[in-house]
Amino acid sequence: MKIGITCYPTYGGSGVVATELGKELALHNHEVHFISYAMPHRLRHFFENVYYHEVETSSYPLFEQQLYGLSLTSKMLEVVEFENIDLLHVHYAIPHAVSAYLAKKVLQKNNSNIKIITTLHGTDITLVGLEPSFLPLVKFSIEESDGVTAVSKFLAEKTITNYNIDKKIEVIYNFVDTELYKPRNAEALKKNIAPKGEKILIHTSNFRPVKRVCDTIKILSMVKEKIPAKLLLIGDGPDRSDCERLVRDLKLDKEVVFLGKQDRLEELLPLGDVFLMPSQSESFGLSALEAMACGVPVVSSSVGGLPELVKHNECGFIAEFGDINRMAKYTIDLLTNDKKHKKFSENARQRAVKNFDKKHIVPQYLKYYKKILG
């Protein structure tokens, strides 16, 4: 099978899942062609059966804004025609699903029967897609896709409700490579970050407002009143300056470590004693899953698809969105009870392996591909 995959190549969950899926499909002897404006950041090395096609945007003076959506359509046409692609799998509705639809209509004139699958990841439905300027187009592109998947039951139901769509949406959860993301002996690195044996709280995201990164700092300030602790923040984005300002205001300069964007998360996540995810909106929570695979219990908000991932009082705790007092209480509970922490750590790892390992999820995509191809 020859599959074209379009995703955002950044550190966000949709790009990560799309890239990891492509790599796994290539290992299953399928030919995968990534079509995007930049190389997906998790394609760090050469992978057999994986190819990359860069979308080039025009800077013609007449156009005040770059026409990425149309440039993407043109590149899709080129790749489908010259590489004999069987299926276009686009991640994130705007503009990828729309570009794929335009490409399909053009290709139909050449008797091509290219199929389109759109995977919905979250903010394309819950935030961007609900803007009046985008809503009709998002609804149309979903309805016109040959197949639609969502990364959680929450997101599938939200899509049908928000857009009044009468279409079957297949739920295929995000996945993790549990052979790569696993508990590790990280004592040497841990001593470097927490030389006095402090407990380590950890968070990773793109530092957008929806991630509520400042809440992790406030949680640390409460935890620190009861137990020595540090907070490891991985990632970067628009809220980083606010976070740094809050750290200075709370005089936590020595307790909060900003690591910026990092590629080797599998080596950093095992450093954590608790993973914090106080998000305002989270359709699944891929970074929480990666932490769980590393044996790190999760304390999160109860929004979106997180309750489908984090089993409350088994592998972590969930609290109402914005209730940082309760999140801090849960965190202190785990950090002061070694027996409970060990059990939660084992449960987190077991849940990741049993339910969300790549060997369980990737075959679901392959089965869905075959169904759509008929």
Pair (319, 257) in one structural domain: yes
Pair (369, 326) in one structural domain: no
Range of the domain at 344: 187-356
Number of domains into which the chain is organized: 2
Q: Is the peptide bond before 95 cis (omega within 30 degrees of 0)?
A: yes
Pair (162, 293) in one structural domain: no
Pair (266, 290) in one structural domain: yes
For the residues 10-17, what does the mean pLDDT come to? 79
Residues 6+ apart with CB under 8 A from 347: 297, 311, 314, 315
pLDDT tens for 328-367 read 999 999 999 999 999 999 999 999 999 999 999 999 999 9
Residue 180 lies in a domain: no
pLDDT tens for 56-90 read 877 666 555 567 888 999 999 999 999 999 999 99
**Alpha-carbon gap, residue 261 to 279, rounded angstroms:** 19
Per DSSP, the three-state class of 272 is coil
Lowest mean pLDDT among 52-56, 129-133, 282-286: 129-133
Give the 3-state secondary structure of 279-311. CCCCCCCHHHHHHHHCCCCEEEECCCCHHHHCC
Would you say 239 and 271 are in contact if contact means Cβ atoms under 8 Å apart?
no
**Alpha-carbon gap, residue 18 to 66, rounded angstroms:** 24
Pair (191, 226) in one structural domain: yes
Residue 37 lies in a domain: yes
Residue 275 lies in a domain: yes
**Alpha-carbon gap, residue 190 to 194, rounded angstroms:** 6
**Alpha-carbon gap, residue 281 to 259, rounded angstroms:** 24
Task: State the amino acid at position 171 in one-letter form.
Answer: V
**Alpha-carbon gap, residue 38 to 35, rounded angstroms:** 8
Whether the per-residue pLDDT at 251 is higher than 50: the answer is yes
Estimate the crossing angle of helix 213-223 against helix 324-335, to 10 degrees.
Answer: 50
Using a 10 angstrom Cβ sphere, with 0-12 exposed, 13-18 middle and 19 or more buried, the burial of residue 257 is middle
Of 327, 288, 291, the C-alpha closest to 307 is 288
pLDDT of 163 reads 85
> For the residues of 46-106, what is the DSSP string, one character each?
--TTEEEEEPPPP--TT-SS--HHHHHHHHHHHHHHHHT-SEEEEESIIIIIHHHHHHHHH
Per DSSP, the three-state class of 359 is helix
Conformational region of residue 320, where left means phi above 0, alpha means psi within -120 to 50, and beta covers everything else? beta
pLDDT tens for 119-172 read 998 776 766 545 666 788 888 889 999 999 999 999 999 899 888 888 899 999
Pair (26, 156) in one structural domain: yes
Pair (123, 49) in one structural domain: yes
**Alpha-carbon gap, residue 276 to 86, rounded angstroms:** 41
Residue 150 lies in a domain: yes
Would you say 352 and 266 are in contact if contact means Cβ atoms under 8 Å apart?
no
Residue 99 lies in a domain: yes
CATH number at residue 108: 3.40.50.2000
Average pLDDT taken over every residue of the chain = 91
Report residue 191 as tokens. Answer: 């001593």
Residue 152 lies in a domain: yes
Pair (150, 211) in one structural domain: no
Of 277, 330, 326, 268, the C-alpha closest to 305 is 277
Residue 182 lies in a domain: no
**Alpha-carbon gap, residue 53 to 38, rounded angstroms:** 9
pLDDT of 367 reads 97
Pair (67, 167) in one structural domain: yes
pLDDT of 129 reads 47
Pair (85, 216) in one structural domain: no
Pair (19, 166) in one structural domain: yes
Whether the per-residue pLDDT at 26 is higher than 90: the answer is yes
For the residues 232-254, what does the mean pLDDT come to? 95
Number of C-beta neighbours around residue 54 at 10 A? 12
Would you say 176 and 360 are in contact if contact means Cβ atoms under 8 Å apart?
no
Pair (348, 245) in one structural domain: yes
Q: What is the pTM of this model?
A: 0.91
Residue 181 lies in a domain: no
pLDDT of 61 reads 61
Of 296, 236, 241, the C-alpha closest to 266 is 296
